[in-house]
Amino acid sequence: MRAILICAAAVAFSGAAMATNPACESQATDKSLSGAAKTSFIKKCEKDAMNAATTTCEAQAMEKKLAGAAKTSFTKKCVSDATGGSK
């Protein structure tokens, strides 16, 4: 039982580490950030990237004259593709 919990924790931790946006990670490395400063920077960078992608994707949905479920689906996929993840 203990081994299963350790494996589950390892998988959860590795998944969280892999969720980092590579562009934000690269910028943090270029700025020589580490620890809490790096974590804070990456969190803000990812939030800013998500907001920019959402704005762009919503504009594209408007251009395509999408509404309702079609707009929601399109925007969700567009943002996911733009940010490189399934957020």
- Under 8 Å between Cβ of 53 and 28: no
Q: Give me the pLDDT at residue 86, please.
A: 52
Burial class of residue 79 (count of CB atoms within 10 Å of its CB; 0-12, 13-18, 19+): buried
**Domain ranges within the chain, ordered by starting residue:** 2-83
User: Under 8 Å CB-to-CB from 82, ≥6 apart: which residues?
Assistant: 49, 53, 56, 57
Place of tokens 């980092």: 20
Q: Give me the pLDDT at residue 83, please.
A: 83
Q: Give me the pLDDT at residue 87, please.
A: 46
Place of tokens 């390892």: 10
CA atoms within 13 A on the CB side of 67: 1
Write out pLDDT tens, residues 1-45. Answer: 444 434 344 444 434 444 678 889 999 999 999 999 999 999 999
